[in-house]
Structure formats: C-alpha cells, structure tokens
Structure 1
Amino acid sequence: MKVWKIYVKLQLAIFLLLLLAGCWDHREITFSKYATSIGIDYKEDEYILYAQMLNFGNIGKLEGQSLEKKPIVIGTARGKTLTDAVFMLYRSEQFPVFWGHVTSVVFTKEALQRVNFLELSDSLSRYYAIRYNVWAYGTESSIEELFNLSPFFGMSPFESILMSPLDTYRQYSDIRPIYMFRFIANYLEPGRTAGLPQLTTNRTTWMEGGKESTQMMLGGEYFFHESQYKGKLGYEEGCGKRYLDKKMNRVPLTIYQGQEPVMTLVLHVQDYKVNHTVKNGNVIYDLKLTVKGLIDEMGENVTHSFIKNEIIKKMKKEIQSTFDKGLEISADVYNLNDTVYRYDHKTWQTYLKGKPPETTMQLGKIDIDVVIINSGKYKNRKNE
C-alpha cells in the first residue's frame, strides 16, 4: 500500500512537470538585433523607413573592462505603407529584429506635411512591442546622419538628446521634448495645438580630440491643429513659449543698459494663469506670470527696480513676438484656446471653433511678478 502511494505521487509529479513551460524555444540574446530608434520619411508616394540598431556592448560592461565602442547599424527600406517597408527590411536582415527597445521616432518634415500624422503613427501604435512612451521629433536633417551621431567620450547613443532629452532640458529649459502618446493626445484635441520639437545638428560648438564633433540639439517646433500641419517656428521665433510652461526650470535671460549687458539671470516660471474676455467678436487673453530669478552673472552695479523692469520688459517682448509669429502660421502656439474649450465651451463654440486664430484671438494684458531669490555664492552688489 505504501509503495502504491509512492507510485501515484511519482506519476502525479511527472504529469505536473509536463505542464511546466520549458526553454526549448529560447534564443540567445546575441542572436537578436534590437531597434532603438525609428525614422520615417515620405517621397515619391512611398514611405522610407530607417531603423537604428545598437549593440548592447555600447551600453554596459563588466567591472574592470573598458567600454568597447560598437558601430551603429542603420537599416533602410521603402514601401507603400509602413508595414510594407518593415517587411522589406526583414527580407535582408540576418537576425530577428526586436522592436521593444525603440526609444524615439523621428519624422521628416516632408512626412509631416504630406501624410496625416495618425496614418504615420497608426502602424507604430498597433504593433504590440513598441511602447507608447517613446520620444517624438520632426527634422529637416538627414535621418541617417542623426542616427549615426554619438555623444562624447564614445558613450552610447542612449545618452544623446535623441533618446534621453530630459537631462539636457532640466539644465536648459528651452524647447520641451514630448512623448509620442502625449503628442498624439494633443493632436486629437479640438481645442489644442500640438507642438513637435525639431531635431537638428550643431557643427560649431564642440570639438573632441582636436576635431569637430557634430552633436544633436533641438532647433524649433512644428505645429498642428485639427489634424493639419500649420508650420514651424524656429528657435528664436518660439523663445516666448518657454515662459508659459510650468515645467520650465532653467532659462537664462540677459538684461542690458544701453548696448552693454549688465546682468544674466537664470529664470524659473513658478506659475502662470490665463483669463479671457470677449470683445467685438474676438477672444482676448490676459496672462499673469510669477517668475523667480537667480543672479548668475553681474557686470554692473544696478538697482533692484531696474533689474525687475528690464526682466519684465524683455519677457513681455518675447511672449508677444512668439504669439504674433504663431498667428502668422495660423497656430495658437500657447494653447490659450484650450482653456476656453475646457472651461467656457459655449464661448469656444461661438467664437473659436473652426475659425483661424489670427481672426479670433488677441493677446491682452501681460502681468509679470518677478522675485529675485538668490544672487549665487557671492553677495549681491546691486543697489537697493
């Protein structure tokens, strides 16, 4: 009887073991290739797909080993649809391609202008392996050139603005990077204008090993409203947009006395509020901003009132200039209409819905409260 019980338990154990998942279909990590960035162009009625692939040897190493730089691999294929282009890429691939590590997607200006963005993003969003939190960019540069650039010291492209833009933005909050899912949400909102950062190159600022080192940077923004491409604002044209971003952390501002610079401050937008009124069929927006500043460099002994007045004057000028430049391309670049759409829908339907912003909206009063909170390590020399 005892032997029989042991036999039954053994048979049951064998049966349960047969139900366990095995590893017979596993594939070694070295026999898969990992796409890390995707580029999309559109020419001659065909999509052009770029797939950047990295060797993980560029990213990690064992303790005591030096980091061996591996070449970046870029695949290119064409097709009438994105899926066609992907399968054309598969025809010549030597190892299976895994898309779960894609971190960024770059669209050319031609693709953004000629194809509905939802069509561009549909295939990407449907494919289960590609995550929603990938960085999205537009560009007028060569995608091949962008994908071949690496940061300094032979570091992995994972440390570049293409794949890790937030560290740079926290240090200099000029153009805010955006995730694909957030951009699509803005793109679909009737009351919002969606902004897509422009990825470009800098060939003049850096040298490495005595040679010119080309690096990536953000150079402007492309704007969309009601599924239509509206245009682009360059870096200088869009400089006022950063002041209406509550996540703006560090922006330099230099004030002048005559033609001479007297002080450079680092500003942080603490808060801003938007109020609107309707007058003669136009929606007029009043802005109220609270800004904190840190004195970073002082060349002249100037009064506190002079500093505040010059900061306010320059900020107002940049905010108004960017607003006007946005109206020139029929874009509400500050998304002021969104506050009306959400909180005063009747006014939005009456005065704003389906109408070009240059004929329906105006910028009214701009109130800016400036607080100088710090003068750095050295005692402030300004006269009170």
Structure 2
Amino acid sequence: MSRIIKGFFILIVTLPILSGCWDEIEPQRMYYVNGVGVDFKDNQYEIYLQLINFKDIAKSEIPYVPEAPAEIGYAIGETLEEAIYELYRSIDQEVFWGHMNFLIFTEEALKHEEVISVFDTFLRFRETRYQMNVHLTQDSLKEILLTTPILNKSLIDSKLSHPLNARKLEVFTEPVNLKNLVIGLNEPSHEVSLPLVSIVKNWDTTKEHPSKETTIKGIGILSKDGFKGVIIGDNARGINWMQNKKNRGDLTFKLDNNKSLTVDMEEKYFDVKPVIKGNQVQFDVDIKVDVILNGFKKKATENAIRKGVIKKVKEEIKATYEAGLMLNVDIYRLSEHLYRNNVKVWKALENNGKIPLNEESIRIINVEIDKIKSGRKTFSETINK
C-alpha cells in the first residue's frame, strides 16, 4: 500500500473523532448565569438574571476586576419561562446555566400560589443543579444582585453564592439548597426556613458613600401550602442552637454584676427526644457547647460565665420558638423528630404533617458547657490595674 493510500486511510478513520469537537462553543463565547432573582407583581413574574464576567470566574482570587463584574438582565412575563425567553431575545451569545449558584425570591414571589412551580422549573432544566442555594429578601432584587463582595472579590465567592465561606466566623442560620428545600417541603412538618438576605452599609471605602454588603438578618418560612412569614433579628437567634450540624456563633449576656460579656460558642452536640404520655407529647432538648472567651471582665468567675451562657441560650431558643408559634410554624421541626422516633404516635396526632404545638411542648432545655476556653493559661485579666 502506497504512502498516499495509507495517509488517506488514516484521515478517513480519524475524521469522525476530530469532527466531534467542531460544534463545541469556546468558553469565552458564552454567558454564565450566577444567580436569578424572582419577583411577582401585577400578576406577572419579574426576572433578574445575573450574568458574571468570564474573567471573574477564571481569576476569582484577583481583588480587582477592571471590567464590570456582572450584568443584570430584567424581563417580565405571565410565566417564569416567558420572562426568561424574553431575556434571551436581547442576548447575543449562548447562555450557560451549569454554574448557577443561587435563587433569591421576594416575599411577593413566595406568597404566590404557584411558587412551587418555579422550583420545579429549575429542577427540570438539564443544566441547573440541586446544590444551588435558595434565599429570601425584602430589599430590592436589583440592588442585591449588583452588590459585590468586600474588596471587589469575585461574585462567585459572595454570601449568596457560597454562604458557608464564613462558617468559621459565624453561622446565623444554615443555608438551604434546592435539594434540601424539596426534602423539607416533602417531609414533616412540610416547612423550610430560608435565610432572609438584606443590604447593610458597614464598610467604608475611599468613595463618598459607604460600601454595601449583604447580610443575613433573619429567616422566612415557606410551607407547601404557602409563605408563612419572617422572623427577624434577636427573635431568630435560637435557630443557631437548634441544628444538627456543628455551629459557631457569638453570645452576649449579663454577668451577676450586670456587666455584659460576649463569648464565642461552638456547638458540639444537639439532640431532641420526644416524651410521650398517652396522647400527649413533649420534647426534651439537649445541647452541649464549648465557650471561648475573647475579652475578660473583672471578677468574671467561671461559674458566673456558665450561669450566664446557659440562661441566655435558653432564652434565645424559647424566643424563636414562641415567634414560630405566632406564625403557626413548627420552627424547630419537632414534628419530624417525633416522626423519626415514633411514627405510630405521629400518625395519631398529625394534621397535614404537623403535630399540635403550644408553649409547653418543649418540656426541658438542657444546656451543658463542656469547656470554657480562656485563650490563656490563667483565668484572669491580662493587665493588672
């Protein structure tokens, strides 16, 4: 066989392999969706699409990006899909949804009777993932989506995209991704607590106006039957101590001498036990924490710190629980704890997935402090006066 024939034969064999990449689109010729905001007004959906700069993805550690870090597209439609296709008509390159990190809703959108169908849209689309986070806000969607992290860090590292980046500092409430939202709505008590995102201006810059940043200021409760309401500020702090995952947070309380002290708290153990007596059920809560002292108050004894921490944790848990009762919400998912422990009793008591709850349903809150870490070898002030 001549060299020409051999070369022709090799070309014919390799052509199918080479042609497999001919229809691929180069990464720089695509737009990347990082997040979507959903509002509902005047019986129409309002969609905000956050497209992030490709260079911002590839070089997320660069603190300054000269190009615009994001563009926000806006459209309205009678359905979510119609609004998205309306945006497509003004886009000049293909849109890739595989890097989408979050969904954020207004209260009006969550109150709409067809909000579950919105989740279904993103679940069914082949490019989106179950890991995207779901948030709620009472602020302007456009303003939130245009807010960049401190020092112009990449938007893919923002609190909306990756809320656990700051876990070592504090976890106010556990983030909810699309997978956990579906599970929570399908299982007792068929309610999910979504992080409530707001804008703060805590950081100063060289500009005339303070820099804006997002923060979590509370929770909003969504059930399969509709939106229940929000719990904000100190009334929501009990959530931090009633989660199965190890959490860290701050706690400010009064000592016996009426001086305030702030400590770091690391939760090591959490358990809820149903106590069944006939047709009545109550719950015992057991929590074990470590306390870390950042500052020190004169005459603050270890016993006084233990007493103050235990009292304050119990107060925060009760305050959040009572705020949930006012919204007819099983804020700590006590119904699910009974369901997992004794499904027979749960079936006898449940109504639409939830069991009846009142102020006496939590019988005991047992808070145990395992260690108090002073940060020094001595349990005394650093400088003697």
What TM-score comes out, normalization by structure 2 length?
A: 0.90
2:328 to 322, 327, 330: 330
Aligned to 1:125: 123
Q: For structure 1, list consecutive stretches of 5 or more residues without a partner in the other structure.
A: none
Distance in 2, matches of 1:221 and 1:266, equals: 22
Identical aligned pairs, as a percentage? 26
Aligned to 2:145: 147
Cα deviation digits, residues 312-370 of structure 1 (max 9, x gap): 11111111111111111111111111111122111111112335644597110111111
Distance in 2, matches of 1:380 and 1:76, equals: 58
Distance in 2, matches of 1:34 and 1:98, equals: 5
Distance in 1, matches of 2:32 and 2:326, equals: 43
Aligned to 1:376: 375
Stretch deviating more after TM superposition (212-221 or 171-180): 171-180
Q: Give, as a single letter, the amino acid of the residue that structure 2 aligns with 1:331.
A: V
Stretch deviating more after TM superposition (102-111 or 269-278): 269-278
Q: Alpha carbons of 1:145 and 1:259: their partners in 2 closer, same or farther (altered >3 Å)?
A: farther
**8 Å contact 1:246–1:269 — kept in the other structure?**
no
Distance in 2, matches of 1:305 and 1:80, equals: 62
Q: How does 1:45-124 map to 2 (within 5 A)?
A: 45-61=43-59, 67-124=65-122
Q: Alpha carbons of 1:122 and 1:129: their partners in 2 closer, same or farther (altered >3 Å)?
A: same
Stretch deviating more after TM superposition (180-189 or 66-75): 66-75
Cα deviation digits, residues 158-209 of structure 1 (max 9, x gap): 2221112112233112122121211121112133531111111112x21111
Distance in 2, matches of 1:64 and 1:371, equals: 42
Aligned to 2:362: 363
- Alignment RMSD (CA, Å): 2.6
Equivalent pairs, count: 378
Aligned to 2:11: 14
Aligned to 2:241: 243
Q: Give, as a single letter, the amino acid of the residue that structure 2 aligns with 1:251.
A: G
Q: Give, as a single letter, the amino acid of the residue that structure 1 aligns with 2:104.
A: V
Distance in 2, matches of 1:186 and 1:64, equals: 38
Q: Alpha carbons of 1:27 and 1:266: their partners in 2 closer, same or farther (altered >3 Å)?
A: same
Aligned to 1:157: 155
What TM-score comes out, normalization by structure 1 length?
A: 0.90
Distance in 2, matches of 1:277 and 1:301, equals: 40
Distance in 2, matches of 1:231 and 1:178, equals: 17
Cα deviation digits, residues 99-150 of structure 1 (max 9, x gap): 1221111111111111344211111111111111111101111110001111
Stretch deviating more after TM superposition (51-60 or 35-44): 51-60
Q: Give, as a single letter, the amino acid of the residue that structure 2 aligns with 1:26.
A: E
Q: Alpha carbons of 1:377 and 1:360: their partners in 2 closer, same or farther (altered >3 Å)?
A: closer
Aligned to 1:174: 172
Q: Alpha carbons of 1:357 and 1:214: their partners in 2 closer, same or farther (altered >3 Å)?
A: farther
SS in structure 1 at match of 2:13: helix
Q: Alpha carbons of 1:33 and 1:219: their partners in 2 closer, same or farther (altered >3 Å)?
A: same
**8 Å contact 2:274–2:341 — kept in the other structure?**
no
SS in structure 2 at match of 1:238: helix
SS in structure 2 at match of 1:302: coil
2:203 to 199, 203, 206: 206
Cα deviation digits, residues 262-308 of structure 1 (max 9, x gap): 53221111112211223574421111111111111111222222211
Deviation at 1:12, TM superposition (A): 4.3
Q: Give, as a single letter, the amino acid of the residue that structure 1 aligns with 2:80.
A: L
Q: Give, as a single letter, the amino acid of the residue that structure 1 aligns with 2:42.
A: E
